[in-house]
Each structure stands twice: as C-alpha cells, then as structure tokens.
Structure 1
Amino acid sequence: LTTRLRQQGSVSKAEGERLVSFTTTGDPLFVMGAVAIGFFHSEQMGIVLALTHYLSAIIMGLVSRFHAPFAAVSKPLEKTSLPLPLRALQAMHRARIRDGRPFGKLMGDAVQSALNTLFMIGGFIIVFSVLIQLFAAIHLTQMISTLLAIFLGPFGFPPAFSQAIVAGLFEVTLGAQAASVVPDGVSMVWKAAIASAVLSWGGLSVHAQVASILSETDIRVAPYFIARALHAVLAAILTFVFWQPLVKVSTWFLEKSVPVFMPTTAGIPVTSWWETIAFSGTLAVGVAVLLFAISLLARYVQSGKTR
C-alpha cells in the first residue's frame, strides 16, 4: 500500500519511509494463535506478546515522525465540513472514477495481485528456510550461536537463546519456535522477551519481501532496517518492564472470560528488576552493534554508487 501511495504521489518519499517503518507488524492471529498457543501453549503469553508488540509499534510510529523532519510533505487534503466517513466515501468514489476500470475488472485485478503477493511471500519463506537448513548443515549457525553466547554471556544473557536469535534473524516463525523450546530452566520472561523481539524484527525473509516491493519506488530500505531493529529492542524492553502487571491482568482476564483453549496448568511466573536491568543492558549493546553494522553497510553501498 505504501508503494502504491508513493507511485500515485499521495505521499512524499520521507512520509513513505516513515509509514513503512512502523506498519510492518505481525497480525493478531499469528502472534496469539501460532506463536502463543501453538508454540508456547499459553493464553497468557498471547496477551503479553500482543500488547507489547503493538504498543511498541505505536511508539515507533511516534518516533518515526522525527525521521527527515525537514523533508517535503505531501499535498494536504481538501478541507470540508463533511464528517470523516463521508469524506472517505467521497474520496473513494472520486478515485474509482479516475481509475476508469469497471467493478469486475477491479475485482479480478485485486485477486490476481493478492495471489502474486502470496506466491512471492511463500517463495521467500521457502528460500530462507532452505538457507537456514544449509547453514545448519555446514555448522555455520552453531558457530554464530557460540560466538553470540560468548559475546553476550557476560551481560547476563542466557546462552540457550543464541540459537533462537540466529534463527529469528533469518525467519520469524523459526525464531519464535526456537525460543519456545528453550529448556524449562530458563525464566519465562526471557522466552517472552526474545519471542517479542523476534516478532518485531520480522526476519530477513520479511525484509527481503519489503525490499522487493519498495524497489519499485524511491523509498529507501535503510530506515526500515533501523526501525525494525529499534522495534525489536523496544518490544523486548517493554516485555520486561510490564511483565508483572501484564501477567496479572491476563490472569484476571482469562479467569473472567469464557475458555476457548485448554487452560494452562501453571501460571507465568514474575521476574525481578535485576533481570530487567541485565536484559536492557544486553539489548542496548546488541542494538548498538547492529546499528553500527548497518551504518557500515550503508556507507559501503553509498560509496559504490558514488564511484
């Protein structure tokens, strides 16, 4: 949608970069159904992951306002006294007239476009799943996991999550699943924080999909990459900070609601402030290293374009 708005001239380049930076989120069915219920077998985890994931996305939307603050803005909409729903219907009617295609043609093109996008997404998922298996076969993921555990171990990071982070770096579903199968000796808050970070990061598979779609416009991918890293860090920190109140609220909500899934046998334990501080420090170091690597890559690409 952002690409289409940019091609139509409805948004400027900076506005498109802001828009795509915070609108790439997991849908509720995936977050609460596939990850929370399917992987963690916990309704409480679904409420925690959903609230931290979307709250951090809203915060990222507010932060994105400071991206390119002096850039050109799009043409303002016409001011009328009509209510917003009527203005929306009026704009839709005018857009249909300008388009000129009949309703049947619009429906056919919409279905064809949806199928093409679906095949593209499925293809990227298969490609990156094969890459992860290939890296595992040549022991590359094990080497990266070992180095990550050695680097983050002094900051209090559980080494068991190294493999989940490496898998989540490439594909969000595999990363969330790897975080859910970490041994039970690890605190549940760490599992939730890592899963929330993986969901917000999205994986290089999703990034490749976004880059493929944005290549049709002049919208840059670098701000999107930085936003995804910040979103992951922010979601994980919010999981740690609001863990105790969210667990209590979710427990009360599930007790008062009609059960849809089989109830869990044990509640989610709370965590200490020391774990929160340790995790926040670990994330700060991780995002600093990631942003430094992204800046080096951007400079290399820019220098190549200059030459």
Structure 2
Amino acid sequence: MAKAHPSNSRRAIFLSLLLGASSMLVVAGIVHSPGEAFRASLSGLQIWWQNVFPGLLPPIMLAELLAASGLLHGFAALAEPLTRGLFRLPGAAGWAIAFGWSAGIPAGAKETARLRDNGMIRNEDVDTVLLVSHAPNPFLIVLVIGFGFMRSPALGWAIALGLWLAAIAAGAVWARIAKPRGPRVPVLPATQPRALLIRALRAAADARKEDGRPFGKLLADSVTGAVGTLMTVGGLMMMSAVVVRLLQLFLPGNDLWLQVPGLYELHLGAYETSQSALFVSDPARACALLAAALAWTGWSGLLQARAAFGLNAPFPWLRVISSRLLHSAAALVIVYALAKLVLSGKLRFAERWPVPSANAEAWSASAGVLPNGWSHLSENMTVALASFGVFLLLALLAALIRPKTPKGKDDSGGQR
C-alpha cells in the first residue's frame, strides 16, 4: 500500500486541530452565553422561514424542472460561441454556467465536477468555470433581498444584473491572465443562426430523453431536492448567526462587525447590510457593498461548493478564493453604477416597482424591515405562489413535449 505524502498528513492533522479547536470555542461561547446564542439562532431561523424559504422554494424547483426538460441544455448550446470566445472554455461549460446561474449555489460547482469527471472540460478549466457559474440564485436577489429586505425589486434586479455582468467580466479577465499555459480551446467559426438553433433544439430533446422521468416523478423530485437544499441553507444561517453573535459579544466596540455576516453567510450578510445606517445615507454604496458580499458568497457558500464538487479531484481553493475576490471587486464597481442609475430614475426595470426615496426618513422606514406582519408575509407568499404557478405551467409544457420512449425500452414491453 502506498504511503501518504508527509505534507498531506501534516495538512490533515492541521485541519483536524483547527476544526476541533474552532468547534470547542463555539461550544464554550454557547455555554458562556446560552441566551444570546439562542436568540441569535432564533433570528437566523426567522429570517430563513419568513423570507428565504418562501422566496426560494419555487425558483429552485423551477431550476430542476428546466434542467430535466432540457431547456437549459438548449440555452447552453446557444451560448457555446460566447463561451468559447469570452472564457476560452469548451462549449460544454455553458451548461454549468446556465445551470449555476438559474439554480444558484452550489449547483454550478456540482455541474462543473460532473463535466470534469466526464472529460467534457479540462482540469485547468475548472477554476474558470467555477468563477462564472458560482453565483447566487437571481430569485434570491430579487425576491428575498430586493423585495423582502430592501423593499425595492428594482434595486434587486440592479444587483442581479451587476453580478452577472461582473461574472462575465471577471471570467474573461481570469481566462486570459490566470489560466496556465497550454493548448487553447479553438474558437469555432461563425455558425449560421439556423444551424445553431437546430443544434440547441436537438440538445434539449436529447437531454429530456436521457432524463426520462414522468411529470409526477419530476415534480416530486424537484420538491424533495428544493426542500433539502433549503434545509441546509437554514442550518447554515442559524449556525452562522450564532457564530457572528458570539464574535460580537467577545470582540465588542468595533463597527466592522456589522459587515462580518457577509463574510460567513450571504443571507445574513444581506439582511444585516439592509438594516445598516448606510442604506439611509447612501443606498447606492450599500448596494455595491452588498453585491460584493454576494459575489464572495460567504464561507458557507464556498463550503457548499466544496461539498458539491466531490472528492474525485482536489478542490483548487487558492484559485477559487482569488477568483471570488476578483468577482467581488468587479461587482462592487458595476453594481454601484447601476444602483446610481436606478436611484436617479435613469434606469427602470418596471414602472410599477418602487424606487427608494431620496428622503432618509422615508427610506429608513421602508428599507431593510423584516416582514413580521401578516400583510408583508402575505405579499411575499403571493409573489412566491404566482411564481410557482408559472413554474408549473412551464413544467407541464415540458412534459407535453417530452419525446416518446423508443421501442424496446418501455417497462411493460409494449409500445407507447
């Protein structure tokens, strides 16, 4: 049996000691201040239950339904020329990017690992694919953060658009300055639009045929997967809330702790930032800082990506952290400009969506308020239920256009 490398053994021992010591410190803090720990955990649970769960359950289900219907595969095929030209990646990477943007964290990392295991992307392409595909769910930004926390879907869309533009810009820069030297992915010649569309439709049909689940099974699996994902998010939010509160107790008198939740957990960071006085004095700057925290995704988001990436290959931690910082810097600049346009009225995503008032008192009275009342909760639930109805219609359409099972593959042995 081959012996383990000494450096790997030392790293494993160091990580074990670090995790053990950190766990013991958290346990000691909870024992020292059980009341504060309980209230912090309860606040994390409240934010998750009243905002994150109803806002994200339908979109996560939609992502699963879209993936099973094959539409995302078709979108990825359409984006292949763009993927090769901008990021110098194989066309298959477009699928990981499309799925990561729609399903959120950690779907991009999971699909990146699957493409790597199947030989569809190279090992040196992994960090670039992770950079572009690892992003929060757009519905989280618009419904939960924009509508639930900031009371402004327009600013939510500005942040979402800025994160996507920042991911594209950071990915293009990263592919040219940080990738190791090697054979470049050839850029395909310009393809006729009709041929590209036919290839996208064929990719969607093949993906739906490969999945093969009936609509009832598909819907049940999407519910199970979405609830499981959200339960994981809820546990991370509660644990992060306890850790941050303990840090505030034992290291008081530092205003920097207002932004600490964003370093650990993106949902708590978004909520705390929306509650800060910065939203009263300078909403555009607050949106820019919030976008930088969302691009970073917090340590919990990085750990989720690591878990979804699997153990078949080492996770490029250093390159992933560096690329996330690049994405954060780009998001900071782009979202600040977009938020300024939204606040000035020069950029509007919908006429009926409110834009934050320039009056500080009016803004503080409406922004960053946790919806404890039934009226706010009912509004959030109404948006979620309406979205869910649209998702069901899309899923039903996907089930109706699903290709028939070829002869000889039906379980009953007959012909459908």
TM-score, normalised with respect to structure 2: 0.50
2:382 counterpart of 1:266: no
Note the C-alpha offset of 1:123.
Answer: 1.9
Note the C-alpha offset of 1:140.
Answer: 1.5
2:204 counterpart of 1:85: no
Deviations 1:172-210 (A, max 9, x none): 111011001112654223321221112111111211110
2:247 counterpart of 1:140: yes
Note the C-alpha offset of 1:85.
Answer: 2.3
Paired residue for 1:104?
213
2:141 counterpart of 1:17: no
Q: 1:109 to 1:52 in 2, by over 3 A?
A: closer
Q: Is the contact made by 1:179 and 1:191 (CA closer than 8 Å) also made in structure 2?
A: yes
Q: Is the contact made by 1:129 and 1:171 (CA closer than 8 Å) also made in structure 2?
A: no
1:225 paired residue among 321, 324, 332: 321
SS in 2 for 1:70: coil
Q: Is the contact made by 1:201 and 1:232 (CA closer than 8 Å) also made in structure 2?
A: yes
Paired residue for 1:197?
292
Note the C-alpha offset of 1:24.
Answer: 1.4
Q: Is the contact made by 1:167 and 1:175 (CA closer than 8 Å) also made in structure 2?
A: yes
Once the two structures are superposed, the pairs formed by residues 203-214 of structure 1 within 5 Å of their partners are: 203-214=298-309
Paired residue for 2:231?
122
Note the C-alpha offset of 1:20.
Answer: 1.1
Paired residue for 2:340?
244
Note the C-alpha offset of 1:93.
Answer: 6.1
- In 2, Cα distance between the equivalents of 1:229 and 1:191? 18
2:181 paired residue among 42, 67, 70: 70
Paired residue for 1:273?
none
Q: 1:213 to 1:232 in 2, by over 3 A?
A: same
1:178 paired residue among 242, 257, 272: 272
The one-letter code matched in structure 1 to 2:179 is: A
Q: 1:56 to 1:220 in 2, by over 3 A?
A: same
User: Alpha carbon RMSD of aligned pairs, Å?
Assistant: 3.7
The one-letter code matched in structure 2 to 1:229 is: L
Query: For structure 1, which runs of at least 5 residues remain unmatched after alignment?
Result: 150-158, 270-307
- In 1, Cα distance between the equivalents of 2:332 and 2:306? 25
The one-letter code matched in structure 1 to 2:317 is: V
- In 2, Cα distance between the equivalents of 1:242 and 1:142? 36
Note the C-alpha offset of 1:53.
Answer: 1.8
Larger radius of gyration: 2
- In 2, Cα distance between the equivalents of 1:193 and 1:129? 25
Q: 1:84 to 1:129 in 2, by over 3 A?
A: same
2:118 counterpart of 1:27: no
Note the C-alpha offset of 1:105.
Answer: 8.2
SS in 2 for 1:266: coil
Q: 1:145 to 1:76 in 2, by over 3 A?
A: farther
- In 1, Cα distance between the equivalents of 2:230 and 2:165? 26
Paired residue for 2:160?
50
2:101 counterpart of 1:5: no
Note the C-alpha offset of 1:57.
Answer: 1.3
Q: Is the contact made by 1:11 and 1:74 (CA closer than 8 Å) also made in structure 2?
A: no
Number of aligned positions between the proteins: 246
- In 2, Cα distance between the equivalents of 1:233 and 1:14? 23
Paired residue for 2:310?
215
The one-letter code matched in structure 2 to 1:234 is: A
The one-letter code matched in structure 2 to 1:175 is: G
Note the C-alpha offset of 1:144.
Answer: 5.7
Note the C-alpha offset of 1:110.
Answer: 9.6
Q: Is the contact made by 1:28 and 1:50 (CA closer than 8 Å) also made in structure 2?
A: yes
Deviations 1:236-273 (A, max 9, x none): 123335553343355x636xx442x5x3572489xxxx
2:144 counterpart of 1:61: no
Q: Is the contact made by 2:236 and 2:265 (CA closer than 8 Å) also made in structure 1?
A: no
SS in 1 for 2:333: helix
